[in-house]
Each structure stands twice: as structure tokens, then as C-alpha cells.
Amino acid sequence: MKGSDPLDGGLKWGRRRFLNLAAAGAGTATFLNHCRSTRSPSVLRSSMGFELEEATVTQLQEAMRSGRFSSGSITQIYLDRIRELDRRGPALRSIIEVNPDAVSEAGRLDDERREGHVRGPLHGIPVVLKDNIDSADRMTTTAGSLALQGSIAVRDSQVASRLREAGAVLLAKANLSEWATFRSTRSSSGWSGRGGQCRNPYDLSRNPCGSSSGSAVSVSANGGPAWKRDLLNGDPSGGGSSGPAARAGYPNITVPAGNVRGLPIGISFFGRAWSEPRLLRIAYAFEQSAHARLVPGFREGIL
């Protein structure tokens, strides 16, 4: 991590569960808590004893309501976990940089809660954005490329804006295949000039797959049950969602979420092991609510 990133260390974010539809913007991938594998890789074993192991969004909200935790303390716990596993230990390299203002942002949200104002189910919850989603803060948005190092977005993307409005804490930017795999036809999944090679948490020698591999790896490095805490936004596509899901052990389904300038986009839901029935219900409910599926159309070409 470079520039404004105060961390020298690494990641551990467990399988985070369902990203909360309220703030999921078009083109975001919603990550749930990952499965509990029958294998017990060292990366996952090292996560045992983590204070917020497999905590759900609902559980974190209850912990904040009861005063057991604050958004500030939860945010710091995850920053410490990133330091532990992402650059140290197994060096998963799933996070490119963290938000140096994350703890102070969480503190402001704690102040709102004390004043009786809770924006919704994401209030005070740490969220990670893929490094090709603009956020107008001190984090850069570079698609993993050294060519864009130091680039600060002038305004929030719709995704980041809606997350902030919902009270989420933008915690970090996830590694990815540089330029979302458009850098080269022979690119390595999960490698970027800024973030280095993201590693598969189940077998550090294996390919994590997909341009969103940093998002998937940061989720799957946690091991255990339940609706999860840190939520990751990726840009869903074949390799961007289904590939990392398969390598990280997640069921995955992508459904239409609208279009941008005539181009269709989708939203991907990820779940822990054996959660397919629940994912199907969630995806179906989203489809029925969004009505985003369009009849295919064809435009006249030059031929």
C-alpha cells in the first residue's frame, strides 16, 4: 500500500455476507459470507479467534445498539485484520489501500447514532470498494494501474455516493486484475501493478481467478458462518463474479440490474456454502422489485 495508506500490513476479512440491497448500486457485486470449507487451510486457521469472526451485519448493528461496539471500534478491528493477513502472514494482497479517514468517518456516524439518527441497516458498517469504483476521498482509484497512481476522483461514483448516504464506512479499495483484465490478453488473474499478485486463500499457489479476485479473496479469508460484516462491491461479469466465486468457494448468481447508456449491467449475489436456495430467493426478489430485465434488441449495423 502506498501514498495515503497508513497500513503496512495485511488482510483478513472473513466471508462477508449479503451486502444489503439498500445501498447496492447498479453494477455492484454483493458479497456474502463464504462457506466453511471441509479443508482447513492455514490462512483460514489463522483467522480463528478473530473477535468479529463471521459477525453478520445484523449482529454488528445489534452490537452497536447495545454499546458493546461502536462503528469506530469495528472499523479499527477490521483495519487491524487487514494488517494481519494482507501484507503480513499469508500476504494475500487482496487490498490495495485503506481509507486513512475511515476511523474518523466511523466516529461521525457514531455521533449520529448517539443523537438518535440511524440511517439504515448499513449505518456504521465497513465496506470495501473495488479499485475501479470512484470515491471522492483520500483513497485513489486506479484500476490497479501505476499509470493512475495518485489519481483522486473529483466526485463519488453512484455506488460510493449511495453507500455513504446509507451510512456505510468506505474502508478500503480491493485489488483486481489490472484494468479489470483489459490490460492484456495474457494477464494474470488478480495481478495489478499497484497491488501485486492477489493470492488464493485456500491454496496460496493457485490462481484466485477473475478481475474481482481481490474482493473474493478478502471475503473468503475469514472462515465461518453467518451474515457478515465487511461488504465488497465488485463489477459483476462472467470472470468478475463467477470465476472468483468458484475459486473462493462461493455460490453466485447474477441478475439484471438495469443499463447504462444502453448497455446492460447486473448485480451479483454471493453466498456461503449451501446457501443456493436463499440466494435464489434473494435474486428473484430483486428481479421482481427492479424489473430491470430488458427484451434483447438489435441496432442496424453497416453490413
Domain assignments of the chain as residue spans, ordered by start: 21-290
Task: Find the mean pLDDT for residues 97-103.
Answer: 96
What CA–CA distance (Å, rounded) separates 169 from 71?
8
Q: What is the largest CA-CA distance in the chain?
A: 66
Confidence check: pLDDT of 285 > 80: yes
259 phi and psi angles, rounded to 5 deg: -150, 155
- Return the bridge partners of 233, or none: 129
Q: Where are the alpha helices (DSSP H) in the chain?
A: 42-45, 57-66, 71-82, 102-114, 158-165, 213-220, 243-248, 276-290
What CA–CA distance (Å, rounded) separates 237 from 27?
9
Give the domain 21-290 fold: Amidase signature (AS) enzymes (3.90.1300)
The confidence score (pLDDT) of residue 186 equals 77
The confidence score (pLDDT) of residue 50 equals 78
Contacts of residue 21, defined as CB under 8 A and 6 or more positions apart, other chains included, come to 30, 286
Confidence check: pLDDT of 299 > 80: no
Confidence check: pLDDT of 184 > 80: no
- Could you tell me which residue, 174 or 210, shows the higher pLDDT? 174
- What are 30-53's pLDDT values in tens digits? 333 332 333 333 344 444 467 887
